[in-house]
Amino acid sequence: MKDLVETASEVRVNDFVLKIANVNGTGSASANGLLMKAIFRMGVPVVGKNLFPSNIQGLPTWYEIRLTKDAYMARSGTAEFMVAMNAETYKQDLAEVSPGGFLLYDSTWPRPDLHTREDVTAIGVPLARMCNEAFENARTRVLMKNMAYVGAVAGLTGLDVEVIKELVTEMFGTKEHLITANMKAINIGLDYVREHFPDPLPLKVERMDATAGHIMIDGNTAAALGCVYAGATFGAWYPITPSTSLMDGFKSFCEKFRVDKETGEKNFCIVQGEDELASVGMAIGAGWNGARAFTPTSGPGISLMSEFIGFAYYGEVPVVLFDVQRAGPSTGLPTRTQQCDLTLAAYASHGDTKHILVFPANPKECFEMAVQSFDLAERFQTPVFFMTDLDIGMNDWMVPEFEWDDSYQPDRGKLLNKDELEAIEKFYRYEDKDGDGITYRTLPGVHPKGAYFTRGSGHNWKGGYTEDADEYKEVVDRLVRKWKSAADAVPGPVVRRCDAPASRAIISVGGCDGAVIEAMDQLAAKGVNLNYLRVRGFPFNTEVEAFIAEHDEVFVVEQNRDAQLRTLLVNETDAPKDKLVPVLDYAGMAANPKFIVEGITAYLDTLGDAA
Amino acid sequence: MKDLVETASEVRVNDFVLKIANVNGTGSASANGLLMKAIFRMGVPVVGKNLFPSNIQGLPTWYEIRLTKDAYMARSGTAEFMVAMNAETYKQDLAEVSPGGFLLYDSTWPRPDLHTREDVTAIGVPLARMCNEAFENARTRVLMKNMAYVGAVAGLTGLDVEVIKELVTEMFGTKEHLITANMKAINIGLDYVREHFPDPLPLKVERMDATAGHIMIDGNTAAALGCVYAGATFGAWYPITPSTSLMDGFKSFCEKFRVDKETGEKNFCIVQGEDELASVGMAIGAGWNGARAFTPTSGPGISLMSEFIGFAYYGEVPVVLFDVQRAGPSTGLPTRTQQCDLTLAAYASHGDTKHILVFPANPKECFEMAVQSFDLAERFQTPVFFMTDLDIGMNDWMVPEFEWDDSYQPDRGKLLNKDELEAIEKFYRYEDKDGDGITYRTLPGVHPKGAYFTRGSGHNWKGGYTEDADEYKEVVDRLVRKWKSAADAVPGPVVRRCDAPASRAIISVGGCDGAVIEAMDQLAAKGVNLNYLRVRGFPFNTEVEAFIAEHDEVFVVEQNRDAQLRTLLVNETDAPKDKLVPVLDYAGMAANPKFIVEGITAYLDTLGDAA
Amino acid sequence: MTSMPKPFIDKHLPKNKLGLTVRNYEGSMSTLCAGCGHDSVTAALVQAFWELSLAPESAAKVSGIGCSSKTTAYFMGQSHGINCVHGRMPSVATGANAVNGDLHYIGISGDGDSLSIGFGQFAHAIRRNLNMLYILENNGVYGLTKGQFSAAADIGSTTKKGVPNEQTPIDPCIQALTLGAGFVARAFSGDKSQLVPLVKAALMHKGFALIDVISPCVTFNDHAGSTKSYAHTYKYYHPLVHTDFVAHAEEITGEYADDGAMRVTLHDGGELRLRKTDTDYDPRDKAQAIETLMMNGGDGEIRTGLLYLNEDMPDMHAANKLPQKPLNQLPYEALNPGKAALASLQKRYR
Amino acid sequence: MTSMPKPFIDKHLPKNKLGLTVRNYEGSMSTLCAGCGHDSVTAALVQAFWELSLAPESAAKVSGIGCSSKTTAYFMGQSHGINCVHGRMPSVATGANAVNGDLHYIGISGDGDSLSIGFGQFAHAIRRNLNMLYILENNGVYGLTKGQFSAAADIGSTTKKGVPNEQTPIDPCIQALTLGAGFVARAFSGDKSQLVPLVKAALMHKGFALIDVISPCVTFNDHAGSTKSYAHTYKYYHPLVHTDFVAHAEEITGEYADDGAMRVTLHDGGELRLRKTDTDYDPRDKAQAIETLMMNGGDGEIRTGLLYLNEDMPDMHAANKLPQKPLNQLPYEALNPGKAALASLQKRYR
Ligand SMILES: Cc1ncc(C[n+]2csc(CCOP(=O)(O)OP(=O)(O)O)c2C)c(N)n1
Ligand SMILES: Cc1ncc(C[n+]2csc(CCOP(=O)(O)OP(=O)(O)O)c2C)c(N)n1
Ligand code: SF4
Ligand code: SF4
Ligand SMILES: [Mg+2]
Ligand SMILES: [Mg+2]
């Protein structure tokens, strides 16, 4: 065990990455979640990323847990401690370990290959053998092998087993036998390493107090909770990775909060549509009828919904679309992340159309912006796109606890009720009474005076059918005015200025946030000072333009091939486009600071060369 | 009759607009076509525009025939001679007549309203009464009323009745009784005006020799003919205005040229799909299998095809999409024209996608570019969008006769045949052997060695499924390279320089062409000299960028609300965006020079003020 | 042509229980071709609504795109209407209905709209037993795009120019039956006496009620070779079951009473009296209904009337256990768990 | 996991008429769950192709998205395959087939792929009588998206957690029958002896041939409450008709021969021998087939075999009068009218 300490270059406390390589369908997800949660409970900030294949069983999967005492929010891209449970990927897993790092493997079978790197310490634990001896049933043995490595990792890093036990107890509740079995497996791993590797590793987990007031939650669950709090009553969907868990979450929250205990009546309705065209059609129907309605989907779904989106835009029907983006094009990489539907969503559908978008960066914003999305949709009577992605939506993120103000009331926009209709002389659906581009709306069944006809074909301000050029233009011109006026209603940008004066800046969006902040620190350390603005809504708030104007050069950091955020900035602000330098990452992995640091450094180097 | 001549300000020979207001479903289209064709046969250049409602019968419809001795290609926007056949629109029709102009109406009933303008001469001809007297059957009477006004117009303007007769004879072929009946109706109108208005109008049609070597054809028919000449064998479609006549045309040409007289076998296949998703899927299936395949549609169809378009892009399947654009958004104005799907087509589908577009400006280019589209699709193995519109597609245009070079051979691109497959050692579908981003393709059934798997999910250069970031990126990076390389293969821009040196210019696209040229003449007359470039393909040819660089300011003239061509120029060239000034028209009518002249003049005036 | 006609005053017209005349149920002027079958269906709808004395604002009109789909603008101008995209009316109806089941949903579609582009949505609305009246105005062609064959065109039926259709037609009634619809009827726009009571019955049926109405297109499909022409339909018209709807009837369920009519009490009120023309036809026997319809190909007869009825299937609201009070009328307080619940919920994420 | 496996050499394996072993018909390694029914269907396809001695490159594999749709990569690596978008395989197959009818089109789909998002395309491919083998790997759930009910889930069948499905299922065989399919079969992935001959027969049938294969999803729908589990299917499995495909048979058409088997000669060669298990079942009687399938709800039996056969309907090629030589092989000269024709054509536009 001595060489262990020798190999390690330095002792790293609460600052390393634990990466578990496994095969999907073996139940490793809960073991990995347990590890991460335990670290979090010890007060240590964590970043967790689950990398899984687009199939159900038998292919490689990885889970990264970054302990980050400095509370960074991104992947680091390194792996100091690899738990290599998948023989298929041994080679690549070993190669990935950082110099001086460790690799834990199942030594039930000899694995000489895993000892080929001088600068990596391989730690063998006979997980399978021990579990086979301890447990009967085949499936149990597979599951318990995972728990056994949890114990081994705990033993090696100093992770508190009591915390693990607490979590296991919470997890299984009253199912005593499951608690016993899992703890048994954990102890098998723990005891083995305590016996065979008594000296602690230089990678240490130590208690901190940096997670108080925080929770660990994924963005889809958070967005679902936002839908509940927004008072959404109707959701239609068609299953698609990575959006499925959003509707799963909505369903389980509604089942908790919205079912009448006596009658069993449900104060919500979820319909699994026959496809995405139907799902968005249903949400539009519900929105037209006055319910807060939404549909979660991913890129292929947005493509399929395109025709209906244009209808809701032109007919001015409120509806919220959650686009949990995944790597495209086409079916692409369904289990990899990207921010690749930005331009699509901004201008979705044929003809002249412009939409409202919100861009959450983490689960907390998912919760908050979900609520805002419904307010925006009703206020502006139009589809609102909630642009999240697989990384935000499906990974557990450490975020501050959600807050709620009980005085919140939904912004229903200009919606006339029965009495108001009774009082007015005549109602015209598309009459711009207030001159702000937003007209009054009525609901079916409320009053015969409120009756109007919603259509995707040419209509005039009265709501009547028209093919007259001037009448047609009046309506579509108002639609642009209305859209532009949303610039100050969408969530405003978040600006972070560096301490030193900076002539250059970064603009980024969504889940890149953590990576950008970390990259800024790294660049600052190299003497490159940058300010940073994160856009959170489209059309862009005026502050965005002002921020660009303030700087000589702005790096636009985003996760797609075609610089889509930059495209939107170029199109929809007055910023000169050569000021906007694209920094792109589209490998499908959650962002890490590396591509930003390297991208910006490389760019600055070229300037140096040129100068 | 004296006041007729008095009112008229000047004699206009072959330079006025004849506009016929009618009700649809009354068979007026053929009467109007006859008038236009007769003028054309007299050697006078004409521009014809049919304005029809989105219904089948009973709503107002207008037909404009511009006689333009200077051979302009656009509407003038004026109406010197109105044939007012629709009581519903009398008021508006009268209002539209140019000062000093004429209005012909059916005086079977008194119409005092039509005499309210001092500066317009109303000419009453009792068309209904005369036709009722002359013909039996109710439907015939309606149809013949139209022919009667043809005769009246001929009599008043000097249009040669012999030419009309020639056309009627050609139209009805061997149906002698129809020829007789129609000529009878024509003569009724003619005789009446000869008797009652013996003095000629100051609006005159006189023989010229300016239409030799030209034909009158609509763009959809021309594009259909292009498909035939390109060797397309498969077309799938779903009916939608204004694209329907493209497939109608293809069908009738194929029936003429592609049916085996002996066996009745058809060397083509047309499938009316159950919707647009199916139609494009079929075209993709046929393209994958090695046929030249296409689907014509309009905006709503492109929206519906979006998911499949991304598949063809990523799977690299050649297919040609004809987008006959109409006014959006949503169902919009199905019988009005716009250029409003430019950004949609350029980036259609979710994820990072970029497509090849061609932009014909008139039926002749429709014919030629249809052929080129298939070459581009096969050469670059990707969807190609043929961006036409209702104005080009459904109106008859006067264009130079089409030419054909019998030495043309289809560019099938890198397609390996059986012998080539036999000869090579191993085939990998997405291997960039030549380093130009274009890889080799094989067809099903040819050779087991050529077998590969086409998928919209992540794949590597071998064609194998992958979720590996580097393998994935290699392919999508190559796709951008391939796309960029099409810039010099798409039809190049057409540049027209004014005689004087010009620091400003116009960039425009498609059917705006005629209006731009006329506007340039009008502006030049006012001392505003402009150069002009018309883009004909996307990605933009390098010449486009050079042209912009050459000028201080470029007006981007197009027919949509959101300046979509400008958006593409901003995104895909290095041109600074403040150089690109939008000049927009989205009223749904075929372009006329007015909005360009006014737009540019207004802009220059503001500059003047500011300066 | 505004969608909100002024209140009509016509002293001579009879009034229904709400004191409204038939004028109160009319819409804007039709822009269809003179003689189009669809206009007769519009008239039947106006009549049925007036006779039922339903408040105009209690209806919600939904449609897709096509001549048929346009007609929702031509009746009941005092009701809300939504004319969405081609073939997707059922989904809009589903969402609208889910959040307010108190309205009467009237979907109007065409054979192109329902059987080609919209076939999936048509099928799935039936599967969900959406509580709505679904009228398919069937003319065998795409009217609005000028006469292409639809999927309902019979084999051998010709275009105006004489080109025959060669593809197997889709029979919406057979499909509805096999997909589980509880109310399946066929009618003819030319026979208002049959259509009006069917519309009333369908409106009162709690669940998906399909009326496939043969509704000739005079412009593109009313010639000699067409099997969807007025002449052909009159010739082969064969009413199987005659339906009367009687409001607020006594409770007499099932089985044939002495007058030979079968009486069925509907969940939403009223009674149906079914009088068979063919003595051996039982509108409760699904297999027989399917077989009877499949025979059409054989003898060419167009069998009409209420072909099948099963009023005992849970509709979408029941299956989803939706509340009595429509979702769109629940107060926000009933939907929002509040601050305290949020705090306690989050313990699970610590 | 490349799509082009190296030629296999295995001396001990039997060879077919082309001298190929079963290995030549295999594809890349399956990535499905161990025990997934779909892998058995894959194996049956390999077997059937090998037995028929069809050249591997004569097949074209088409599919949508889903676990089932992935399987086209797992057989016949020496054939072209196209794995398009979810639910839209039939359209791609239609286009591909139209331009080269000489290949054997094998479409693989799932119940989600065919009955929800793809229901319209499924129906219209049948209407067109597209000449293809269409295998619907039916497991009652969406496997790839982790176990949601599909439209094929039976009423009362439960999720793993015990939640029952309440919506009427769509039976693809009933739909195919009413939409006009000429070859409709049901099979079970667990019975290769029935499936392999059915696949052979379907491949040789000229027209649309549907095989709805109950193919259990071991991960999400193989528990006690499921009606699409192995256990449930074995229990209620009820073969109605046994099919044998005999290549190059003598010309004996129709009617039952003395050995009790009904013999049918197929247009594309070979003979079918249908042996009935239920003596009163006639696979030529569509009405009976529909009624029999609709009964399933009653006794729960899963009736399998070649349920309906009509080999006399024109397929899409015939209906479109397509040439003998595939469109994709016609020389350009046969397609292009040339300069002179263009000049003369244009006279009409003067
Ligand atoms: C997405 C889309 N595709 C095509 C069209 C064009 N279109 C309008 S109506 C129609 C068919 C209408 O046929 P049907 O539903 O039978 O109605 P009918 O006019 O015969 O009453 C079509 C194809 C459209 N509006 N939208
Ligand atoms: C447009 C689109 N929507 C949703 C999905 C997600 N998705 C993938 S497979 C699938 C369902 C598969 O079910 P089924 O066809 O029954 O196949 P199985 O996996 O059960 O074999 C879905 C919804 C998708 N790929 N594309
Ligand atoms: S075209 Fe046909 S369906 Fe349309 S309005 Fe005219 S008659 Fe009716
Ligand atoms: S999830 Fe189900 S359908 Fe998919 S591979 Fe696994 S067992 Fe088969
Ligand atoms: Mg129709
Ligand atoms: Mg399935």
More confidently predicted of B94 and A112: B94
Contact C317, C131 (CB under 8 A): yes
> How far apart are the C-alpha atoms of C138 and C136, rounded to whole Å?
6
Q: Which residue of D has its CA nearest to C321?
A: D166
pLDDT score recorded for residue C9: 59
Asked whether the beta carbons of residue C95 and residue A462 sit closer than 8 angstroms, the reply is no
A98 within 8 A of A79, measured Cβ to Cβ? yes
Instruction: Tell me the two tokens of residue D169.
Output: 């299922």
Contact of D156 with chain C, judged by CB distance below 8 Å, is answered with no
Topology alike, domains B217-400 and B494-610: yes
CA D327 to CA A135: how far, in whole Å? Answer: 64
- Chain C CB contacts of D294 under 8 Å are 178, 286-287
Question: What is the rounded average pLDDT of the residues A476-500?
Answer: 97
User: Are A464 and A451 in contact, with CB atoms under 8 Å apart?
Assistant: no
User: Would you state the structure tokens that stand for residue A430, as one six-digit string?
Assistant: 């598309």
| Interface mutation vs chain B, best among D2, D328, D330, most B CBs within 10 Å | D328
A335 and A52 Cβ atoms separated by less than 8 Å? yes
Task: Please tell me the number of the ligand nearest to residue D229's CA.
Answer: 4
Give yes or no for a contact between B83 and B35, defined as CB atoms under 8 angstroms apart: no
Distance separating alpha carbons of residues D328 and D343, to the nearest angstrom: 27
In whole angstroms, what is the distance from residue C123 CA to residue B568 CA? Answer: 41
Mind giving me the DSSP string for B8-67?
--S-EESEEEEEEEEETTSSHHHHHHHHHHHHHHTT--EEEEEE--SSSSSSEEEEEEEE
3-state secondary structure of D42: helix
In the reported structure, the alpha carbon of residue C112 is separated from the centroid of ligand 5 by a whole-number distance in angstroms of 5
- pLDDT tens readout for residues B417-473: 999 999 999 999 999 999 999 999 999 999 999 999 999 999 999 999 999 999 999
B58–C31 CB contact, under 8 Å: yes
Q: Which residues lie closer than 8 Å to D118 by C-beta, 6 or more apart?
A: C120, D64, D86, D87, D88, D89, D90, D109
Mean pLDDT for C237-257 is 70
Q: What is the rounded average pLDDT for all residues in chain A?
A: 95
Residue A55 contacts residue A24 (beta carbons within 8 Å): yes
> Among A14, A22, A122, which residue's Cα sits nearest to residue A76?
A14
Residue B392: closest CA among B561, B514, B253? B514
Q: What is the pLDDT of residue D256?
A: 47
DSSP H stretches of helix in A14-126: 28-41, 90-96
Which residues are near ligand 3 (CB < 6 Å)? Answer: B 56-57; C 32-33, 36, 38, 67, 139, 143-144, 217-220
Q: Which residues does ligand 2 sit against, CB inside 6 Å?
A: A 238-240, 276, 300-301, 304, 331; D 65-68, 86, 110-113, 137, 139, 141-145, 150, 217
* CATH level 3 topology of B217-400: Rossmann fold (3.40.50)
**Looking at domain A494-610, which CATH architecture does it have?**
3-Layer(aba) Sandwich (3.40)
pLDDT at residue B309 tops 90: yes
Mean pLDDT of chain C: 91
Tokens encoding A204: 């240490």
Residue A36 token pair = 């991460």
Nearest ligand to the CA of D214 is: 6
Nearest CA of chain A to the CA of C4: how many Å? 7
pLDDT tens digits, one per residue of B109-124 = 988 888 899 999 999 9
Provide the CB-side half-sphere exposure for A234 (13 A, CA). 35
Q: How many CB atoms lie within 10 A of CB C246?
A: 16
Ligand 4 pocket, mutate which of D139, D149, D213, D214 (most atoms under 8 A from CB): D139
What is the spatial order of strands in the sheet that A580-584 belongs to? A494-496, A530-535, A504-509, A553-558, A580-584
Chain segment C291-307, per-residue pLDDT in tens: 999 876 567 889 999 99
Q: DSSP label at B401? A: P
Mutate to test the pocket of ligand 3, among C29, C31, C36 (most ligand atoms within 8 A of CB): C36
Among A74-88, B474-488, C59-73, C262-276, the minimum mean pLDDT is found in C262-276
**Count of beta carbons in the 10 Å neighbourhood of residue D311:** 18
Does B1 have pLDDT greater than 70?
no
B291 touches chain D (CB under 8 A): yes
* pLDDT of A118 strictly over 60: yes
What is the distance, to the nearest Å, from the Cα of residue B234 to the centroid of all Cα atoms in its chain?
22
Mean pLDDT on A126-152: 95
User: b/e map of D100-117 (b: 16 or more CB within 10 Å)?
Assistant: bbebbbbbbbbbbbbbbb
* Lowest mean per-residue pLDDT among A525-529, B393-397, C280-284, D244-248: D244-248
Both structure tokens of C18: 């709400």
CB A73 within 8 A of CB A58: no
The C-alpha atoms of residue B270 and residue B289 are separated, in whole angstroms, by 16
Domain boundaries defined on chain B: 2-204, 217-400, 418-487, 494-610
Q: Does D152 contact C at CB distance below 8 Å? A: no
CA B392, B393, B396, B402: dihedral to nearest 10 degrees?
90
User: Which residues touch A508 (CB under 8 Å, ≥6 apart)?
Assistant: A516, A532, A533, A534, A535, A556, A557, A558, A565
pLDDT more than 70, % of chain B:
98
**Cα D144 to averaged position of ligand 4 atoms, centre (Å):** 7
User: Which residue in chain C is spatially nearest to D319 when comparing CA positions?
Assistant: C166
Counting one residue from chain B and one from chain D, the pairs whose CB atoms sit within 8 A come to 232
Residue B566: closest CA among chain A residues belongs to which residue?
A571
Q: Output the pLDDT for position D2.
A: 34
Question: What phi and psi values does residue A460 have, to the nearest 5 degrees?
Answer: -105, -175
Tens digit of pLDDT for each residue in A289-337?
A: 999 999 999 999 999 999 999 999 999 999 999 999 999 999 999 999 9
Please list every residue in chain A whose beta carbon sits closer than 8 Å to the beta carbon of residue B565: none
Cβ separation of C95 and A457 shorter than 8 Å? Answer: no
Q: Mean of the pLDDT values across residues A498-506?
A: 93
Cβ–Cβ < 8 Å for A171, A38? no
Q: What is the per-residue pLDDT for D249?
A: 46
Q: Cβ contacts of residue A261 below 8 Å, gap of 6+?
A: none
User: pLDDT band for position C259 (50/70/90)?
Assistant: low
In this prediction, residue C248 has a pLDDT band, given cuts at 50, 70 and 90, of: low
Q: Identify which of B267, B283, B284 has the shortest CB distance to residue D335.
A: B267
Contact D85/B308 with Cβ under 8 angstroms?
yes
A231 touches chain C (CB under 8 A): yes
How far is Cα of residue A373 from the mean position of the Cα atoms in its chain? 16
Alpha carbon distance C75, C57 (integer Å): 12
pTM: 0.97
A213, A184 in Cβ contact below 8 A? no
Amino acid C7: pLDDT: 52
pLDDT tens, residue order, chain D (350 aa): 333 444 555 678 999 999 999 999 999 999 999 999 999 999 999 999 999 999 999 999 999 999 999 999 999 999 999 999 999 999 999 999 999 999 999 999 999 999 999 999 999 999 999 999 999 999 999 999 999 999 999 999 999 989 999 999 999 999 999 999 999 999 999 999 999 999 999 999 999 999 999 999 999 999 999 999 999 999 999 999 888 888 864 444 444 455 667 888 887 778 888 887 776 889 999 999 999 998 765 678 899 999 999 999 999 999 999 999 999 999 999 999 999 999 999 999 99
Q: Which residue of B has its CA nearest to A302?
A: B350
B56 and C146 in contact by Cβ < 8 A?
A: yes
Match domain B2-204 to its CATH number in 3.40.920.10, 3.40.50.300, 3.60.20.10, 3.30.565.10: 3.40.920.10
- Residue A405 sits at φ, ψ, to 5 deg, of -105, 115
Burial of D98 (C-beta count, 10 Å sphere; 0-12/13-18/19+):
buried
CB A67 within 8 A of CB A90: no
Q: Which residues of A touch C345 (CB under 8 A)?
A: 225, 256
Which of A6-15, A414-423, D246-255 has the largest mean confidence? A414-423
The verdict on a CB contact (< 8 Å) between B300 and A350 is yes
> Beta strands C261-265 and C271-276: pairing type?
antiparallel
Question: For residue C86, which atom of ligand 1 is closest to its CA?
Answer: 26
Q: Which residues of A144-173 are buried (b: 16+ CB within 10 A; e: fewer)?
A: bbbbbbbbbbbbbbbbbbebbbebbeeebe
How many alpha carbons fall within 13 Å on the CB side of residue A363? 27
Nearest residue (by CA) to ligand 2, atom 23, is A239
Residue C242 is predicted with a pLDDT of: 86
Residue C296 pLDDT: 62
Give how far Cα A544 sits from Cα of A487, A488, A505, A573, C303, Å. 10, 11, 12, 8, 67
Q: Which chains border D (3 or more CB–CB pairs < 8 Å)?
A: A, B, C
Put simply, the answer to whether B284 touches D94 (Cβ < 8 Å) is: no
D144, D146, D148 member nearest A272 (Cβ): D148
pLDDT digits (tens, 9 = 90+) for C16-46: 999 999 999 999 999 999 999 999 999 999 9
Instruction: Name which residue leads in pLDDT, C137 or A56.
Output: C137
User: How many A×D Cβ pairs under 8 Å?
Assistant: 49
Which 364-423 residues of chain A touch chain C by CB within 8 A?
Answer: 401-406, 408-410
DSSP B434-485: TSSS---B--TTS-GGG--EEESB-B-TTS-B---HHHHHHHHHHHHHHHHH
Q: Which residues of B touch D344 (CB under 8 A)?
A: none
Distance from CA of A54 to the nearest CA of B (A): 8
- Is the CB of residue A247 less than 8 Å from the CB of residue A270? yes
The ligand 4 atom at the shortest distance from the C-alpha of residue D68 is: 3
Q: Give pLDDT tens digits for A11-51.
A: 999 999 999 999 998 889 999 999 999 999 999 999 999 99
Distance (angstroms) between ligand 2 centre and the Cα of D142 equals: 6
**Mean pLDDT of the region B234-250:** 98
**Tens-digit pLDDT profile for residues C173-226:** 999 999 999 999 999 999 999 999 999 999 999 999 999 999 999 999 999 999
Helix (H) or strand (E) holding A325: strand A319-325
Q: Ligand 4: residues whose CB is within 6 Å?
A: A 56-57; D 32-33, 36, 38, 67, 139, 143-144, 217-220
How high is the pLDDT of residue D254? 47
Structural domains in chain D, CATH included, are 22-319 (3.40.50.970)
Query: Would the CA dihedral through B432, B434, B435, B441 be positive or negative?
Result: negative
Calculate how far, in angstroms, residue C154's C-alpha sits from the geometric centre of ligand 5: 13
